[in-house]
């Protein structure tokens, strides 16, 4: 059997490293085309050498000399910058992991779809920012998009062989994040260190803080609407502290299919890698008797204003998701920089949506990547202005 050609965008991150872990276990099965990263040149170069990649790309042009240096004598090509990321997405591959963090992941993923490849989509910002453009490109090019976010992989698996028209509801579970047991009145004081510790999942710093604020869950609700094409009022979320049930799908006969598994991203990544087959994966098996109980409860909207904002974004549609993502990224940067408090992030996002609504009217859909990038840019400026005004 010929080796499958794979590329990993965001190879140095948490998802990227989990993907590499799976691929490295079957070195004969894969031919690694491109690995990309940004700041972590040592890791990028060592993985490129270990996996004998064709090319390693850093998003940061300033780091090209360091990357060249680290790859010297290996015969592996080195490149840098946004255009180089797009060129890497043009290289023929059978399976591409989209795991760059943030809106920066959109353009390379979209480019990869042009070639009719299979795109394993971890980068949730792509769907929230430009779901219709991405999925339309996939349809037009005969490409396959497979969800890697664990909840969406779970829904996707529960839907195999089912008719989407028979779906009554989709329930996305949420751990509640690192601050779920803090009193609500103390949340305003939470620091990035407090919010950056997750009870169940080991993930990148940004998504871990987004879990504590539930901006991550807000993104996932919007992702669900975009990917599965289900009406917003059929999409629910429930707090499930154990993170064993990843999502549930309710059908029109009252049946509910739940997906259970250990909280390990290699499950969802491996499902996308082996799809449509199922193969052995090195993840823990769950023991229900040992788990003893699985708890579920409704999320408190005072604690998690992001959930209310997600509802508004889903109802508005159009460019609301793009503004939401951009403003959320800016608010998170400001929180990480100590410029705003933990609970201020939702206020900035909501005010950015209001301001952008007055400027451009959010419900009109963006038709091209350029439209999306323009709205993204304007939204970031708007959010920064709001942050400045707060000081």
317's contact among Mg ion, ligand NDP, none, with CB below 5 to 8 A by partner kind, is none
We find the least distance from the C-beta atom of residue 246 to Mg ion, in angstroms, to be 8
Cβ distance to ligand NDP smaller for residue 19 or 382: 19
Q: List residues bridging with 249 in a β-sheet.
A: 170, 257
Q: Using CA of residue 213, residue 217, residue 218, residue 219, what is the dihedral sign?
A: positive
Q: What do you get for the CA distance between the two ends of the chain, in Å?
A: 61
Q: Quick one: which segment of 108-116, 146-154, 281-289, 292-300 binds Mg ion (CB under 5 A)?
A: 146-154
149 contributes a contact to Mg ion by CB under 5 A: yes
Q: Is 371 helix (H, G, I), strand (E, B) or coil?
A: helix
Give, as one character, the DSSP assignment of residue 54: S
Are 240 and 182 contacting, i.e. CB atoms less than 8 angstroms apart? no
We find the least distance from the C-beta atom of residue 364 to ligand NDP, in angstroms, to be 25
Cβ distance to ligand NDP smaller for residue 42 or 315: 42
We find the least distance from the C-beta atom of residue 336 to ligand NDP, in angstroms, to be 12
Closest residue to Mg ion, based on beta-carbon distance: 149
Q: Quick one: which segment of 78-86, 147-155, 359-367, 376-384 binds Mg ion (CB under 5 A)?
A: 147-155
By CB neighbour count within 10 A (0-12 exposed, 13-18 middle, 19+ buried), where does 276 fall? Answer: exposed
Cβ distance to ligand NDP smaller for residue 176 or 351: 176
Q: Is 171 helix (H, G, I), strand (E, B) or coil?
A: strand
We find the least distance from the C-beta atom of residue 203 to ligand NDP, in angstroms, to be 3
Are 360 and 316 contacting, i.e. CB atoms less than 8 angstroms apart? no
Cβ distance to Mg ion smaller for residue 125 or 151: 151
By CB neighbour count within 10 A (0-12 exposed, 13-18 middle, 19+ buried), where does 288 fall? Answer: exposed
We find the least distance from the C-beta atom of residue 103 to ligand NDP, in angstroms, to be 9
Cβ distance to ligand NDP smaller for residue 45 or 187: 45
Q: List residues bridging with 145 in a β-sheet.
A: 119
We find the least distance from the C-beta atom of residue 297 to ligand NDP, in angstroms, to be 23
120's contact among Mg ion, ligand NDP, none, with CB below 5 to 8 A by partner kind, is none
Are 195 and 208 contacting, i.e. CB atoms less than 8 angstroms apart? yes
122's contact among ligand NDP, Mg ion, none, with CB below 5 to 8 A by partner kind, is ligand NDP
Site residues, ligand NDP (CB under 6 A)? 10-16, 37-40, 59, 99-101, 104-105, 122-125, 149, 201, 203-204, 206-207, 265
Q: Quick one: which segment of 65-73, 149-157, 194-202, 230-238 binds Mg ion (CB under 5 A)?
A: 149-157
Rounded to the nearest 10 degrees, what angle do helices 320-336 and 344-360 cross at?
A: 140
Cβ distance to ligand NDP smaller for residue 59 or 195: 59
We find the least distance from the C-beta atom of residue 171 to ligand NDP, in angstroms, to be 18
Residue 231 dihedral angles phi and psi, to the nearest 5°: -65, 145
The DSSP-derived string for 308-370 is: HHHHHHHHH-TTHHHHHHHHHHHHHHHHHTTSS-TTHHHHHHHHHHHHHHHHH-TTSPP-SHH
According to DSSP H, which parts of 142-230 are helical?
150-158, 192-195, 205-213, 215-228
Cβ distance to ligand NDP smaller for residue 203 or 272: 203
We find the least distance from the C-beta atom of residue 272 to Mg ion, in angstroms, to be 14
Q: Is 258 helix (H, G, I), strand (E, B) or coil?
A: strand
Q: Contacts with Mg ion: how many residues (CB under 5 A)?
A: 3
Cβ distance to Mg ion smaller for residue 36 or 150: 150
Residues that bind Mg ion (CB under 5 A): 149-151
């Amino acid at each position: 059997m010929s080796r499958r050609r794979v590329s990993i965008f965001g190879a140095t991150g948490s998802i990227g490293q989990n993907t590499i872990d799976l691929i490295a276990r079957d070195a004969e099965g894969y031919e690694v085309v491109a690995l990309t990263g940004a700041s972590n040149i040592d890791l990028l170069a060592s993985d490129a050498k270990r996996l004998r990649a064709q090319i390693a790309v850093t998003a940061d042009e300033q780091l090209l000399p360091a990357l060249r240096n680290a790859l010297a004598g290996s015969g592996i090509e080195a490149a840098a910058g946004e255009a180089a990321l797009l060129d890497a997405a043009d290289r023929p591959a059978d399976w591409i992991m989209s795991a760059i963090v943030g809106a920066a992941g959109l353009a390379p993923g979209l480019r990869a779809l042009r070639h009719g490849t299979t795109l394993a989509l971890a980068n949730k910002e792509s769907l929230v920012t430009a779901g219709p453009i991405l999925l339309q490109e996939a349809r037009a090019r005969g490409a396959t998009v497979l969800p890697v976010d664990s909840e969406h992989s779970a829904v996707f698996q529960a839907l195999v062989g089912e008719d989407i028209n028979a779906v009554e509801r989709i329930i996305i579970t949420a751990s509640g994040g690192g601050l779920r047991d803090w009193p609500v009145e103390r949340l305003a004081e939470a620091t990035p260190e407090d919010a950056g510790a997750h009870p169940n999942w080991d993930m990148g710093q940004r998504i871990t803080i987004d879990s504590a604020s539930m901006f991550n869950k807000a993104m996932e609700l919007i992702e669900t609407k975009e990917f599965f094409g289900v009406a917003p009022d059929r999409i629910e979320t429930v707090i499930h502290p154990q993170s064993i049930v990843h999502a549930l799908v309710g059908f029109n006969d009252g049946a509910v299919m739940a997906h259970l598994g250990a909280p390990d991203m290699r499950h969802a990544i491996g499902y996308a890698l082996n799809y449509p087959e199922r193969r052995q994966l090195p993840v823990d098996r769950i023991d229900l008797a040992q788990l003893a109980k699985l708890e579920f409860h409704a999320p408190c909207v005072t604690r998690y204003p992001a959930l209310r904002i997600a509802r508004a974004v889903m109802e508005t549609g159009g460019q609301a998701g793009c503004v939401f993502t951009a403003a959320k990224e800016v608010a998170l940067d400001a929180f990480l920089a100590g410029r705003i408090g933990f609970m201020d992030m939702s206020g900035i996002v909501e005010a950015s949506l209001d301001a952008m609504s007055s400027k451009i009217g959010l419900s009109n859909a963006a038709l091209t990547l350029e439209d999306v990038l323009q709205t993204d840019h304007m939204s970031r400026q708007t959010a920064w202005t709001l942050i400045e005004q707060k000081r």
